[in-house]
Structure formats: structure tokens, C-alpha cells
């Protein structure tokens, strides 16, 4: 698994815990309880990843169900003192969710309680935690089954098929396709090698659209990307900006950062998220919006200054035309100021109904534009205004990797 994550999945950092794994810094990495809990505490002390990043947790060993809780047993675990020597899967999922990555995967190749072939093993309680936290969880077998090791391949059947499915043979890109591969391949292999026994892996990925997430971008087909795009469009239509942003980042990562639909959608989401923070437009709605970076009078206006004295004048209507706007902004009545801005700008261009056409923007008086912008910038403490919007939009278009939208394939980390 370590070799696969390093050489094929190209993860950036891997924490490996085995009998003979190298130390991390000066800290030992034998899979003892204290060593595992220490690294979990240290690396998850504060969020260190973000949307577009991946964090996987892989465990191969014994699992025990104790007092209705699921535990993973480290090398020094005591089956007679599970609560004090095991590590609960709840503890692990809570740590995983705190890393900041939006694609968190927990893979458990864990046999039933103490290796017994009767009684219920781990699974059901971990399933519930996975549904609550959103951690994608993949189990080597059902709670009432045994997870087999096969002598001829010197490996567990599940891990063997897992590496097949994510590798060149299976070429499974998404959670859904990977689950389908495992559900077919593991029983097939176990039956061939072990005879009439059953081992059926399964996964938990909720909500449903998480099953469309792309685990291995290098294997993603156009159909995989199209399905993810449909989920992103649905979230965007519902104005679920956070979800839409995460999905579009995933789409762009699968396309090596070159998907123009994703880039344009992320720009739109940036505006949508900004307007959600304070419910106002700070400009009238445009039937034909001017694109960022165009040569129109608004997008080319200089960043506003904030002189001591307010200028309420209009090139067409003279002094005090924007006095009411200034009063609303001073009072912090943002919604009313937003509507006042739209009404006044439409009146300047003899438009009714709160709309400006693209040609109106081209011809809008510079004096009016600059005065409205200065008022907004001054009384919002430089948080709002046309010049502020322009700066944010150009940052997204010209420097997407450093902007508020993360459009990269992401940092990938794993604990094995």
C-alpha cells in the first residue's frame, strides 16, 4: 500500500507504521497505540489541508467490537482491555475530519473480533460515524464475515484487490466504480482460493454524490468527469456555494487544471459567496454582464480613494444627487443602500426596473461611477465597492492558484 501511494497515486506525504518502518523525525513508528495516537494528535492539531486535497487512512489488522463501539487493535493491543489498549474508530474519524481536506477516505482491512469466525465484528458503529462525518469508508468485509488472508499471494484478499482496482488492472477512478470492482473481485478471488466461503466488501459514501468523487484522476473518463460536473451544476443552481466550489475544484483537478467550465464556475461562485456574506449587490443587475478585465468604464475604473469630504454630485443631476446613498451607508443600512445605488444608477441612464444593459455600462458617467465607488469603499472600510469587486475578480482570473479559489489537484497525505 505504501509503494502504491508513493509511486502510482503520487501522494505528497505518507506516515507509515509497521514493524520495520523508518522513524518520523526522531519518533518511532512501530504500530503501538502510543505512537499512533501521538502522530494523530500532532498532525491534526490544526487544519493543514483544504478543498481539493486528499487524506487517506489505511489499516490492516484486527478489529474488535466492545461495548457497542468499534476498535482497531494496535500491535500492543490487549483483547482483555480493549477500551484502554485499542483505538476507537470514532477517534480516528474525528481526527480525519479535522484535517481540512474535503476528500477523506478511511480503508479498513480488519478481520472480525480476535479473528473468530462467529459473532459480529466491527462495521455497524463505524458506518454510523462515517455517515455523520462524511468520511468515505471502505470495509474489507461485512460485520458478520471474516476477512481472509491468502497464502499463495502472501496478502489479504481485500488489499490485493484494492491495489488491483486502483491500479492499472481495474483503473477505477471514482468511489462508485471502485466499490463495484471490489464487490465483484474480492468474492471471486476468495472463492477461487478458499472454496465455499464469503467475503463481501462494501463502502459508505454519503451523501450520494460523494460516490462520484474521483479518487484517481489519472484513470478518470469523460463520463466520470461529466457526472461530477452535473453534481457541481446542481449545487450551484441551489446556491450551495461551498459544495459547488468543492466539486468544481475536483472537476478541474481531474482535467489537470485546464477545464474552462470549472474555472468560469469558480469565478461565479466567488461572487456568489461574497454576496452571501453581506446581502447586497453593490451594483444593479445586468442583463448582459460585463466580463472582468474588459475595457468598460466600470471594469477599467481606478481603485477608489477615500477623501475626507464626500462628493455626492452627479455629472447629469448635479450636487447632492447621492446624498441619500451617503446617509444610508453612514448608518450601515447596507440593504437599503444597495437598492438606492441601483435606483440612482438606473435613473442616470433613464432605465426602469433595476436593469442596465451592457451599452449603459460602456456609457456610464465616470464622475458618478467614481463617487458611488468612493462612498461604498469609505463606509464599508474598503470591503465593498466596484473597485474592490474588480480587484477580487481580476485576482481570480489572473492568479487562480493564489486566489481565494483553490484550483489545484491538492496535497495528498496518508496514514498506513
Q: Tell me, what's the pLDDT at 71?
A: 93
Residue by residue, DSSP assigns 218-253 as: GG--HHHHHHHHHHHHHHHHTT-HHHHHHHHHHHHH
- Residue 27 placed within a domain: yes
Q: Tell me, what's the pLDDT at 353?
A: 59
Q: Do 301 and 253 sit in the same domain of this protein?
A: no
Q: Tell me, what's the pLDDT at 169?
A: 92
Which grid coordinates are listed for 231? Answer: 453534481
Instruction: Give yes or no for residue 118 having a pLDDT over 50.
Output: no
Maximum Cα–Cα distance across the chain: 92
Q: Do 354 and 266 sit in the same domain of this protein?
A: no
Q: Do 152 and 269 sit in the same domain of this protein?
A: no
- Residue 302 placed within a domain: yes
Q: Tell me, what's the pLDDT at 3?
A: 93
Mean pLDDT of 303-308: 47
Q: Do 53 and 181 sit in the same domain of this protein?
A: yes
- Residue 227 placed within a domain: no
- Residue 318 placed within a domain: yes
Q: Do 153 and 169 sit in the same domain of this protein?
A: yes
pTM exceeds 0.75: no
Segment holding 136, helix H or strand E: strand 136-139
Q: Do 131 and 266 sit in the same domain of this protein?
A: no
Three-state DSSP state, 89: helix
Q: Do 180 and 258 sit in the same domain of this protein?
A: no
Task: Please give the C-alpha separations between residue 326 and each of 20, 54, 230, 385, in angstroms, as whole numbers.
Answer: 70, 48, 44, 13
* Contact predicate 69/114, CB 8 Å: no
Of the candidates 173, 191, 219, which is a domain's last residue? 219
Instruction: Give yes or no for residue 164 having a pLDDT over 60.
Output: yes
- Residue 396 placed within a domain: no
**Which of 155-159, 318-322, 409-413 has the least mean pLDDT?**
409-413
Instruction: Give yes or no for residue 76 having a pLDDT over 90.
Output: yes
Q: Tell me, what's the pLDDT at 303?
A: 42
- Residue 228 placed within a domain: no
Could you report how far apart the first and last alpha carbons of the chain are, in Å?
Answer: 7
Q: Which domain holds residue 248?
A: 238-277
State whether the Cα torsion 17-136-53-278 is positive or negative: negative
Q: Do 253 and 130 sit in the same domain of this protein?
A: no
Q: Tell me, what's the pLDDT at 170?
A: 93
Task: Please give the C-alpha separations between residue 363 and each of 293, 302, 325, in angstroms, as whole numbers.
Answer: 17, 16, 22
Number of domains in the chain: 3
**pLDDT tens-digit map of 389-416:** 666 555 544 444 333 333 333 467 777 7
Q: Do 55 and 169 sit in the same domain of this protein?
A: yes
**CATH number, residue 71:** 3.40.50.1460
Q: How many CB atoms lie within 10 A of CB 153?
A: 12
Q: Do 155 and 248 sit in the same domain of this protein?
A: no
Instruction: Give yes or no for residue 317 having a pLDDT over 80.
Output: yes
- Residue 206 placed within a domain: yes
Mean pLDDT of 173-181: 94
Q: Do 60 and 186 sit in the same domain of this protein?
A: yes
Instruction: Give yes or no for residue 191 having a pLDDT over 70.
Output: yes
- Residue 392 placed within a domain: no
Task: Please give the C-alpha separations between residue 330 and each of 97, 349, 371, in angstroms, as whole numbers.
Answer: 42, 26, 15
Mean pLDDT of 331-360: 80
Mean pLDDT of 79-100: 92
Q: Do 265 and 301 sit in the same domain of this protein?
A: no
Amino acid at each position: 500500500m505504501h509503494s502504491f501511494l508513493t509511486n502510482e497515486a503520487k501522494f505528497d506525504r505518507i506516515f507509515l507504521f509497521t514493524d520495520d518502518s523508518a522513524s518520523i523525525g526522531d519518533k518511532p513508528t512501530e504500530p503501538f497505540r502510543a505512537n499512533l495516537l501521538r502522530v494523530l494528535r500532532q498532525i491534526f492539531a490544526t487544519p493543514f489541508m483544504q478543498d481539493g486535497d486528499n487524506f487517506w487512512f489505511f489499516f490492516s489488522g484486527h478489529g474488535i467490537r466492545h461495548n457497542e463501539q468499534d476498535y482497531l487493535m494496535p500491535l500492543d493491543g490487549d483483547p482483555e482491555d480493549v477500551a484502554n489498549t485499542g483505538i476507537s474508530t470514532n477517534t480516528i474519524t474525528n481526527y480525519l475530519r479535522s484535517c481540512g481536506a474535503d476528500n477523506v477516505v478511511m480503508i479498513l482491512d480488519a478481520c472480525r473480533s480476535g479473528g473468530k469466525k462467529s459473532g459480529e465484528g466491527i462495521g455497524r458503529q463505524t458506518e454510523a460515524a462515517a455517515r455523520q462525518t462524511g468520511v468515505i469508508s471502505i470495509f474489507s468485509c461485512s460485520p458478520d464475515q471474516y476477512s481472509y488472508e491468502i497464502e499463495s499471494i502472501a496478502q489479504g484478499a481485500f488489499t490485493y484487490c484494492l491495489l488491483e482496482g486502483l491500479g492499472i488492472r481495474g483503473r477505477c477512478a471514482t468511489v462508485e466504480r471502485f466499490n463495484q470492482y471490489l464487490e465483484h473481485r474480492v468474492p471471486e478471488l476468495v472463492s477461487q482460493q478458499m472454496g465455499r466461503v464469503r467475503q463481501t466488501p462494501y463502502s459508505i459514501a454519503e451523501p450520494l454524490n460523494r460516490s462520484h468523487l474521483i479518487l484517481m484522476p489519472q484513470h478518470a473518463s469523460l463520463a466520470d468527469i461529466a457526472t461530477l460536473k452535473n453534481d457541481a451544476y446542481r449545487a450551484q443552481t441551489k446556491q450551495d456555494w461551498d459544495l459547488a466550489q468543492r466539486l468544481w475544484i475536483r472537476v478541474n483537478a481531474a482535467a489537470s487544471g485546464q477545464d474552462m467550465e470549472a474555472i468560469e464556475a469558480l469565478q461565479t461562485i466567488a461572487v456568489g459567496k461574497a454576496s452571501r456574506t453581506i446581502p447586497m449587490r453593490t451594483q444593479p443587475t445586468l442583463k448582459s454582464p460585463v466580463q472582468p478585465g474588459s475595457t468598460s468604464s466600470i471594469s477599467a475604473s481606478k481603485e477608489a480613494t477615500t477623501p475626507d469630504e464626500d462628493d455626492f454630485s452627479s455629472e447629469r443631476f448635479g450636487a447632492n444627487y447621492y446624498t441619500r446613498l451617503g446617509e444610508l451607508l453612514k448608518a450601515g443600512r447596507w440593504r437599503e443602500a444597495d437598492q438606492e445605488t441601483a435606483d440612482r444608477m438606473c435613473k442616470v441612464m433613464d432605465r426602469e426596473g433595476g436593469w442596465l444593459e451592457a451599452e449603459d455600462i460602456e456609457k456610464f458617467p465616470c464622475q458618478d461611477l467614481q463617487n458611488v465607488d468612493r462612498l461604498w469603499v469609505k463606509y464599508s472600510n474598503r470591503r465593498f465597492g466596484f473597485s474592490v469587486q474588480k480587484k477580487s475578480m481580476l485576482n481570480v482570473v489572473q492568479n487562480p492558484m493564489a486566489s481565494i479559489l483553490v484550483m489545484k489537484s491538492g496535497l495528498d497525505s496518508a496514514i498506513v
